[in-house]
Structure 1
Amino acid sequence: MKSIFLYPGHAYVTNEPTTITTVLGSCVAVALFCPEKKIGGLNHFLLPRPMEENDSSLKYGCNAINYLSKKLQAELRGESCKIEAKFYGGGNIIGANIFKESVGELNVEMAFMELEKLKIPVIDYNVGGNLSRKIKFITNTFEVFHEFVE
């Protein structure tokens, strides 16, 4: 099975069985999956939204989630599928607060909002806390293994 490490500000979608690994602190990783076609993808974003309207960087949740959804749809080549989501991270690791909320909390809120807009159901999530997480996503089974790291 192919194996890749996903860096912050990136996303990866594939129809080949692949293990995608990443490490999250206040960042969030969203996994999307088509159960009928066994196609999956993962993103890793750092912040909820850009300060400038025309910034399309994948380091922002609003961009990264939409990009991941579009890439998965492209892999489906016009076939319909009931895409599902799981997401992880959003810890209060560095104590960075914006507007009385931690960056992690804002990232989690962004993930819920964007997935709701896209009408993609969230079937599992593990967020918050004060520890980092290591995520391992198996793209063809939708298994996500996560462990806390200090």
Structure 2
Amino acid sequence: MARCIDWPEGMRCTLRTVVSGETCVTAEDDLVISTVLGSCVSVCLFDPVARVGGANHYFLSSGRGQNASYGAVAMELVINGLMRRGAERSRLRAKVFGGALMKSGLGDIGKENSKFALEYLQTERMPIVAMDLGGFWARRLHFHPTSGRARVVQTKQPQLVNEAAAVAPSGATPVELF
């Protein structure tokens, strides 16, 4: 769902929300990609010459699936979409966000997602020009694909959930966080 937001310097933009397992690639100058990340990672790629960019939002570093929920598939979808819109692989620049430890006791999925992104970009020789990875907090990301500008807002308090320490109040309805 798109809505209008104020981007720095008074620029009015349409917001395109990308949820887990989705990608977005565009050359539209008035579009900003938005997502919220916990343990998931978003790799934002852009070609500053062709003025085209895109982002993914994946929640598993590896697996057998053929959808954008998996890091390798998500990366290829964005790269191929950029190249179809005139980007050159040698000019692509990356910004990487997310990978937090959001729930204790389940392993550090965020760390694995971050590791995948960094290794993938190194193997493909795509320079990382900015990143904000790890920690214990969720992030809201706004990415302007044609300029490569990104804005990240972190939650103020750690969001780490320790199931062993969590006790539901009497009569409370359980809520599953993911």
What is the alpha-carbon distance in structure 2 between the residues aligned to residue 75 and residue 117 of structure 1?
23
Instruction: Give the alignment of 1:1-150 within 5 angstroms.
Output: 1-17=13-29, 18-50=31-63, 52=64, 55-76=65-86, 82-95=91-104, 97-98=106-107, 102-149=108-155, 150=157
TM-align CA RMSD: 1.5
Provide the TM-score with structure 1 as the length reference: 0.89
Please tell me whether the aligned partners of residues 87 and 124 of structure 1 are also in contact (alpha carbons under 8 angstroms): yes
Contact 2:90 2:126 in 1 (8 A): no
For residues 138 and 112 of structure 1, do their structure 2 counterparts lie closer, same or farther at Cα, with a shift above 3 Å needed?
Answer: same
Aligned-pair CA distance for 1:22: 0.3
Q: How high is the sequence identity, in percent, across the aligned residues?
A: 27
TM normalised by structure 2 equals 0.76
Deviation sequence 1:54-111 (CA, Å, 0-9, x none)? x21100112111221111111117x66511000100000122544xxx0000000000
Give ranges in structure 1 of 5+ residues lacking alignment: none
For 2:16, what is the secondary structure of its paired residue? strand
Distance in 1 (alpha carbons) for counterparts of 2:126 and 2:27: 19
Aligned pair count reads: 143
Q: Which has the higher contact order (CA 8 A, sep 6+)?
A: 1
Uncovered stretches (5+) of structure 2, i.e. residues with no partner: 1-12, 158-178
Distance 1:42 1:57 in 2: 15
Q: 1:27 to 1:69 in 2, by over 3 A?
A: same
Deviations 1:96-139 (A, max 9, x none): 544xxx00000000001111222211111000000000000011
Question: Which structure has the greater CA radius of gyration?
Answer: 2
4+ residue runs of structure 1 moved beyond 6 angstroms?
A: none
Residue type at the aligned position of 1:137: F
The 2-side partners of 1:45 and 1:84 are apart by 19
